[in-house]
C-alpha cells in the first residue's frame, strides 16, 4: 500500500494509494478521505462505489462529500470500478464492458475471471487492507454508490449480512438481470447461467429473502435519461421490498438527472443518514 498523493481538505486529508491486489491480480488505485477526527482516534468508514466509466477520481472531485465527512468524522473509502493495466482484458470500443465496468461481480468466464474479481476486492481485500493500515474502526462500515456503483452497494450489503451498518444508493441499477447494461455484463462475466446472475441482482436477492439491518435509502432523479431507457428499474426494487417487507425509502427527486449535479445535491443527506446509523453527531 503506497501513498501517491495527499491533499488537505476541510481539516482532514484526501489521500490516494496504489497496491497490488491479489484478488484482481493487478495494481489497483483507491482514494481515502480521512476526516480531522482521524488524527486522534479511529473512525468509521463509508465505502463509495462509482458508476460506469469512472475511476476513484470522479467522486472525490465532483461530489463535495468531504465537507460532510469532516463534519461527522467519517472516512470515505473510494475504490476504482474495475481492474486496470495493460494485461487486463478490455473491450475498448465499449464503455459498458471491460475496464471501468467491473460491475462489482466475481467473473467466472475467461478471459475475465483472472482479474475481474471486484466483489471479493470490495468486500474482502480492500477492507482488510485499509483497516490494517489506516485509523479506521474495524468492522464499522457503511456503503453507498451511484448507478453501477449503486447496484454494487445494494448487492454487497445484501450478500454480506452484518458487514455494513447501512446502505444507500443514487440511481442504482436495481434489477440488472433485466437491464440492458446488466444483461451485457452478466453474460460476459458470468456466462449464461441466470441463477448466477441472480446472486448479483438486488431485486432477486431481496425476493430470495436477503435482509439488511436498516432502511435502504435510494434517491432517483425523475429526469434521469436512463430511467425511461429501462436501465435502472427502481419500481422493481420498490415492489420487491414491499413484497418482502424490507424497509425502503425511495425518493423520486423531481427534475434531477443521472449526473454528479444530482449526487452533489443530496450527498450531504446520505452521509447524515449513514452517520446517524453509525452513532455519529456533527
Q: Over range 49-74, report the average pLDDT.
A: 97
Q: Dump pLDDT digits (tens) for 196-206.
A: 999 999 999 99
Q: What are phi and psi of 135, to 5 degrees?
A: -75, 65
- Predicted local confidence at residue 282, as pLDDT: 81
Read off the C-alpha cell for 84. 486496470
Q: What is the mean pLDDT of the chain?
A: 97
Read off the C-alpha cell for 201. 441482482
Q: Over range 72-91, report the average pLDDT.
A: 97
pLDDT at residue 213 above 90? no
SS3 label, residue 224: coil
pTM greater than 0.85? yes
Residues 6+ apart with CB under 8 A from 115: 24, 25, 26, 83, 87, 88, 89, 107
Catalytic residues: 147, 224, 258
pLDDT at residue 15 above 90? yes
Q: Over range 47-54, report the average pLDDT.
A: 97
Q: CATH no. for residue 222? A: 3.40.50.1820
SS3 label, residue 247: coil
Q: Over range 151-167, report the average pLDDT.
A: 97
Q: Count of domains in the chain?
A: 1
Name which of 25, 38, 23, 41 is nearest 69 in CA terms: 38
| Structural domain span for residue 209 | 2-278
Q: Dump pLDDT digits (tens) for 253-264.
A: 999 999 999 999
- Predicted local confidence at residue 281, as pLDDT: 84
Q: What are phi and psi of 167, to 5 degrees?
A: -145, 140
72: pLDDT confidence band, cut at 50, 70 and 90?
A: very high
Amino acid at each position: 500500500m503506497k501513498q501517491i498523493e495527499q491533499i488537505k481538505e476541510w481539516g482532514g486529508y484526501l489521500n490516494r494509494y496504489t497496491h497490488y491486489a491479489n484478488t484482481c491480480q493487478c495494481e489497483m488505485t483507491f482514494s481515502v478521505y480521512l476526516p480531522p477526527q482521524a488524527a486522534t482516534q479511529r473512525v468509521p468508514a463509508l465505502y463509495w462505489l462509482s458508476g460506469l466509466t469512472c475511476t476513484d477520481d470522479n467522486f472525490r472531485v465532483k461530489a463535495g462529500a468531504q465537507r460532510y465527512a469532516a463534519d461527522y468524522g467519517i472516512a470515505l473509502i473510494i475504490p476504482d470500478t474495475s481492474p486496470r493495466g495493460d494485461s487486463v482484458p478490455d473491450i475498448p470500443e465499449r464503455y459498458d464492458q471491460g475496464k471501468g465496468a467491473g460491475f462489482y461481480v466475481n467473473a467466472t468466464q475467461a478471459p475475465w475471471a483472472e482479474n475481474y474479481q471486484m466483489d471479493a476486492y470490495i468486500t474482502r481485500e480492500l477492507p482488510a487492507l485499509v483497516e490494517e493500515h489506516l485509523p479506521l474502526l474495524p468492522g464499522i462500515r457503511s456503503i453507498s454508490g451511484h448507478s453501477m456503483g449503486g447496484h454494487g452497494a445494494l448487492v454487497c450489503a445484501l450478500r454480506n449480512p452484518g458487514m455494513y451498518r447501512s446502505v444507500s444508493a443514487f440511481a442504482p441499477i436495481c434489477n440488472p438481470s433485466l437491464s440492458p447494461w446488466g444483461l451485457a455484463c452478466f453474460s460476459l462475466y458470468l456466462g449464461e447461467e441466470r441463477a448466477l446472475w441472480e446472486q448479483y441482482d438486488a431485486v432477486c436477492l431481496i425476493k430470495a429473502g436477503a435482509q439488511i439491518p436498516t432502511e435502504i435509502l435510494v434517491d432517483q432523479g425523475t429526469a434521469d435519461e436512463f430511467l425511461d431507457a429501462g436501465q435502472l428499474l427502481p419500481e422493481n426494487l420498490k415492489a420487491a421490498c414491499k413484497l418482502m417487507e424490507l424497509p425502503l425509502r425511495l425518493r423520486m427527486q423531481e427534475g434531477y438527472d443521472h449526473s454528479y449535479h444530482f449526487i452533489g445535491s443530496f450527498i450531504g443527506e446520505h452521509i447524515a443518514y449513514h452517520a446517524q446509523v453509525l452513532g455519529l453527531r456533527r
